[in-house]
Every structure is written in structure tokens, then in C-alpha cells.
Amino acid sequence: MHGSELMFRKTLPSSLSSEQNCVQADFKKKEQKQSTKNLKISCQRRQIETC
């Protein structure tokens, strides 16, 4: 699942706005928070740095 998702992201046009990329990254971080509670704090810190 993750492999095909990576290939799909590579086929996306590079002209995507940074806002869309930020939303996608935020969504992925939310998924990580649900799967692993230990990543919650680190994901929040990363969100501030990337976005």
C-alpha cells in the first residue's frame, strides 16, 4: 500500500501548491498519530517545522 502510494505521489505534477503539499503532509501525520501515540509529540513538532 505504501509502495503504490509513493509511486502515485511521484506521478503527481510538481506544480502542486505548497499549501496542498502541507495538507497532504498534515493528513499523513494525523494517520501516524492514530497508529502510534508515541509519534504524537514528534509529529506536532515536525508540523511546525515543515508547515
pLDDT score for 7: 60
Residue 47's nearest CA partner among 25, 17, 20 is 25
pLDDT score of 15 more than 60: no
Give the residue with greater pLDDT, 22 vs 15.
22
H-only helix segments in 1-51: 2-11, 18-35, 40-50
pTM above 0.85, yes or no: no
pLDDT score for 47: 73
* Residue environment code for 17-36, b if the CB has 16+ CB neighbours within 10 A, otherwise e: eeeeeeeeeeeebeebbeee
Cβ neighbours around 42 below 10 Å, total: 13
pLDDT score for 51: 54
